[in-house]
Amino acid sequence: MSFTAAGAQDIQDRTIKFGHLNNPDHPVSLGTKRFAELVSAKSGGKLKVQEFPSSQLGNELQQQSALQGGVQEMSAPATTSLAGIVKEFGLIDFPFAVSSYAQADALLDGPFGQALLARLPEKGLVSLGYWDLGFRNVTNSKRPITKAEDLDGLKLRVIPNPVFLETFKAFKANPVPMPFAELYGALEAKAVDGQENPFAVILSNKFFEVNKFVSATQHVYAANILLVSKKFWDRLSPVEQKILHDAANEARSYQRQVSRAAAQKAVAELQAKGMQYNEVSPAEQARMGAIAKPVTERFAASYDPAIVKLYQAELAKGKP
């Protein structure tokens, strides 16, 4: 799509530093590359997105404060990392709430997801929407997880986030919060028994080398969020802002598609690498959800009631 001469004077030469935690072969990186191509095409090459994958610009929270301070333009962390500044993002991490991709997309792209995004500008961030990270699953070096009791006593690295910590405590696991970049070393040194992440992340980071068992617990649907520094955003012309919005929307459907295809493929590849894979029955997932319910109810009680109500209404709509 060419831009008009009238719009051209509203587009300046800019370099956008875009950082994320994932490796260059991961779907988040593929989405970033597609976004960069679209931004370049729509701006006549004036807006350049420069990708910094693999935690090169720091961990989630370091990149978040770099965006808030205006020294980095964009990032694509898991939504989980935002719970520290807008606690209602914790609702996305409620375990066993979302059971399908269609339900996840409707929840995040609809009024609930948008209500969360509206809370970000006052924290120095602007969001261009949600990308797919996938359902999170447990790997460990001890045993297959087929039921809640199998988590008892396992030392699991979890995202440094209160909902995850309390959820795994409810299953009597021993959750250990630690930055993602330190995880492989901790698994290798047996400092932790296991971890939980989407299949594509497990494969991309070679956790099959240090964990034998992968269990499709699908305990949380995880999304990445496209973030822009508000300091940077406010300097853009309306034309430039529209280019970034449009490119993000187009890149989103592509990124979700490649991410979901990668998750399916990753299961077979993990098994080929020697991991022992098992599924968790729907009945057991429902039972695990019931065990975690007191935890989520406790968190929900401390959140903005209007957003909690919206979350529950949207979730009910998407139930099969």
> Quick check: is 7 in a domain?
no
- Say which residues have a Cβ less than 8 Å from residue 184's Cβ, sequence separation at least 6: 205, 206, 207, 210
| Number of domains composing the chain | 1
Question: 162 near 81, Cβ under 8 Å?
Answer: no
**Residue of 98, 79, 77, 95 lying closest to 87 (CA atoms):** 79
Per the structure, the complete domain to which residue 117 belongs is given by 12-317
> Quick check: is 2 in a domain?
no
> Quick check: is 197 in a domain?
yes
Q: Long-range CB contacts (< 8 A, 24+ apart) of 301-308? A: 302/87, 303/87, 303/88, 303/90, 303/91, 304/88, 307/88, 307/91, 307/112, 307/115, 307/116, 308/88, 308/91
Quick count: other Cβ atoms within 10 Å of Cβ 254? Answer: 17
Measured CA to CA, the distance from residue 196 to residue 110 in angstroms comes to: 27
CA dihedral 107, 110, 111, 114 (to 10 degrees): 100
3-class state of residue 71 by DSSP: coil
> Quick check: is 284 in a domain?
yes
Question: What's 78's domain CATH number?
Answer: 3.40.190.170
Give pLDDT tens digits along the chain (320 positions).
445 544 667 999 999 999 999 999 899 999 999 999 999 999 999 999 999 999 999 999 999 999 999 999 999 999 988 999 999 999 999 999 999 999 999 999 999 999 999 999 999 999 999 999 999 999 999 999 999 999 999 999 998 788 999 999 999 999 999 888 899 999 999 999 999 999 999 998 999 999 999 999 999 999 999 999 999 999 999 999 999 999 999 999 999 999 999 999 999 999 999 999 999 999 999 999 999 999 999 999 999 999 999 999 999 986 76
Query: CA end-to-end span of the chain, whole Å?
Result: 39
User: What is the CB-side half-sphere exposure of residue 287 using CA atoms within 13 A?
Assistant: 10
> Quick check: is 6 in a domain?
no
DSSP state of 160: S
